[in-house]
Amino acid sequence: MTASSADCLFCRILRGEIPATVLGRSDRTLVIADITPQAPLHALVIPRRHAEDIGAFMAGKDAEAEFADLVAQALALAKEKQIDRTGYRLVVNTGSDGGQTVGHLHIHLLAGRPMGWPPG
Ligand code: AMP
Ligand code: ZN
């Protein structure tokens, strides 16, 4: 686990090497719009610390507080976008069966349409 990874897509976005639509930021996080939105609001809450997935992330020092910060950022955006009353979905895809395509932990925030269960 490293602070930043040279060829990681989200680390490159965090360093400003690749453009993104920024929806929020904090000392520990960056919140961007997903480039292929699956819902009217589809944001990604990305920790500034590189970790391959949720397992690697939670093995880090002070990870519980960091994860709580990620969730707080998602909830703040939900409130700002006024979808906290209609509802939303927070998703952490992990590994190949979990549908993870970018190897840097992130939380999806999806909202603005009804979503079925189980997801496809
Ligand atoms: P996951 O499949 O859970 O790893 O989620 C990765 C997400 O990153 C997908 O929803 C992609 O659409 C999104 N994504 C990929 N490239 C970019 C990018 N350059 N800017 C914003 N989102 C991206
Ligand atoms: Zn990274």
Number of domains in the chain: 1
CA distance 31 to 54: 17
Residue pair 23/31 in contact by the 8 Å Cβ criterion: yes
Instruction: Indicate which CATH number applies to the domain containing 50.
Output: 3.30.428.10
Residue 3 lies in a domain: no
- Report yes or no on 118 lying in a domain: no
Instruction: Note if 42 is an active site residue.
Output: no
Whether 98 maps to a domain, the answer reads yes
DSSP state letters, 74-108: HHHHHHHTT-TTT-EEEE---TTTTT--SSS--EE
Q: Is residue 1 part of a domain?
A: no
What's the pLDDT score for residue 3?
A: 73
Going by alpha carbons, the residue nearest to atom 15 of ligand 1 is 35
pLDDT at 4: 81
Report strand pairing: 41-47 vs 29-33.
Answer: antiparallel
Which residues of the chain register pLDDT less than 50?
A: 1
Domain limits for position 41: 9-111
Q: Whose CA is nearest to atom 13 of ligand 1?
A: 34
Tokens 């269960």 found at: 117
**What pLDDT was estimated at residue 1?**
46
Q: Would 97 be classed as within a structural domain?
A: yes
The pTM assigned to this predicted structure is 0.96
